[in-house]
Amino acid sequence: MKTATIFLFSIFILFVSTSPYAASLTGKWIAQSDQGVVSLEFLSGNQLNYNGELLPYQIVDNIIQVPGDFSLIDYPYTLKQGKLTIRFPEGYKLTFKRPGKTERTNRTNITNQNGRLQGMLCSYSSSGSYYGSSSSYSSSQRVQFDGQGRFRTNNESSYSGEAGGYYGQGNASGGRYEVKGNQIYLTADDGSSYQGKVIEQSGGRITGIEVNQTIYGSGLCD
């Protein structure tokens, strides 16, 4: 924990200064990926917005560096003829360009679609008879959607029986999501992807979805 704290403090000091290479990148960029439109905006010389997530950064030569948990993550890039090509750590490349009028309109529509899914949705399962005894087991997953294309998950489980009980929480994880009509596309930060569907709405807001035969609903978060 101490090592992580020292690293994060060092990163904060490092990214206070503005890179002289950042001026040519300042502003909005968009790219088309397998999951849809990806948005990248360089807000200043040391802060960017990637699909709704604010991140500090610096540029060393032709490499964009973003802090990870314990080290800097490199994103090599090239900028030629108005096109920004970035190679991601997973090995794939995305080519970004400045949004035109039509593309800005399309991006706004996508953002509005993602805005339909905002807030907490939960799943819940339980067993009243565990291992043939009077023991009980329950588990739940809470997913927080930010309305801008990012989500975070957290798992909880509990067990009670004659010998006692326990309550535990899993590690939080996250990723990106995109809403297209009644379909939802989710891509976790570890690279895994899922497709779900809308099963319940209220006032234009999505209040229930189904992913991998699991139901997530706002009413299950109580």
pLDDT at position 11:
43
Who contacts 106 (Cβ-Cβ below 8 Å, separation ≥6)? 37
pLDDT above 70 covers what percent of the chain?
73
Who contacts 42 (Cβ-Cβ below 8 Å, separation ≥6)? 22, 25, 26, 27, 29, 48
pLDDT > 50? residue 13: no
pLDDT at position 10:
45
Distance CA 34, CA 38 (A): 10
Who contacts 61 (Cβ-Cβ below 8 Å, separation ≥6)? none
pLDDT above 90 covers what percent of the chain?
24
The closest alpha carbon to 146, from 166, 176, 167, belongs to 176
pLDDT at position 61:
86
> Which band of pLDDT confidence, cut at 50, 70 and 90, is reported for residue 64?
very high
Average pLDDT, the chain: 78
* Residue listed under structure tokens 């917005």: 49
pLDDT at position 83:
93
pLDDT at position 132:
54
Higher per-residue confidence, 56 vs 129 = 56
Span 196-213, mean pLDDT? 87
Burial track 107-121 (b if 16+ CB lie within 10 A, e otherwise): beebbebbbbbeeeb
CA dihedral 39, 52, 189, 78 (to 10 degrees): 40
> Which band of pLDDT confidence, cut at 50, 70 and 90, is reported for residue 37?
confident
Specify the pTM.
Answer: 0.46
pLDDT at position 94:
93
pLDDT > 70? residue 14: no
Span 66-92, mean pLDDT? 90
The closest alpha carbon to 118, from 185, 51, 205, belongs to 205
Which residue segments constitute the domains of the chain, with CATH numbers given? 2-99 (2.40.128), 115-221 (2.40.128)
Which secondary structure element, helix H or strand E, spans residue 104, and what is its range?
A: helix 101-115
Across 41-50, 98-107, 123-132, 194-203, least confident range: 98-107
Span 13-34, mean pLDDT? 69
pLDDT > 90? residue 74: yes
